[in-house]
């Protein structure tokens, strides 16, 4: 795990590890997001700048960027409801739906928020 530790410590921004950096490290080094999360936890490193816009934007003066939308397109609504279980939808499912619809992840997270879907679990174990 020493390699992961060094990579994580070298990737910190303002003392935290941005979500996108965590996933880039995992991809570049053939590690899983779970391995990154475990090592970050062990080191007491907090994740920031969630790619869904849910948390970690304190340096910008706000907790998150996700917003409630006026409307959610019907095809996106169908995809979200197909992926939800008991009012919850996984972070990984939102990423997949964003890709399928050619939309930014934050737009899909905002659609989920608008539809009162609770996003959980996080791929990095943040929630």
Residue 2: its pLDDT value, please?
A: 60
Pairing of the two strands 118-119 and 17-18: unpaired
Q: Which two tokens stand for residue 111?
A: 């659609």
CA distance 24 to 94: 18
* Alpha-carbon distance values, 38 to 5, 42, 53, 59, 73 (Å): 10, 6, 22, 24, 37
Q: Where do the structural domains in the chain lie, given as residue ranges?
A: 2-49, 74-119
Angle of the 105-114 helix axis to the 74-83 helix axis, nearest 10 = 80
Instruction: Note the pTM of the prediction, 2 decimals.
Output: 0.91
pLDDT in tens, the chain (127 residues): 569 999 999 999 999 999 999 999 999 999 999 999 999 999 999 999 999 999 999 988 999 999 999 999 999 999 999 999 999 999 999 999 999 999 999 999 999 999 999 999 999 999 8
């Amino acid at each position: 795990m020493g390699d992961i530790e060094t990579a994580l410590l070298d990737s910190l921004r303002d003392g935290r590890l941005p979500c996108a950096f965590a996933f880039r490290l995992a991809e570049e080094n053939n590690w899983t997001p779970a391995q990154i999360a475990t090592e970050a936890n062990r080191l007491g490193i907090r994740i920031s700048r969630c790619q869904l816009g849910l948390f970690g934007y304190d340096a910008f003066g706000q907790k998150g960027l996700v917003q409630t939308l006026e409307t959610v397109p019907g095809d996106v609504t169908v995809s979200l409801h197909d992926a939800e279980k008991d009012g919850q939808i996984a972070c990984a499912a939102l990423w997949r739906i964003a890709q399928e619809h050619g939309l930014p992840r934050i737009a899909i997270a905002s659609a989920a928020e608008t539809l009162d879907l609770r996003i959980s679990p996080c791929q990095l174990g943040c929630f």
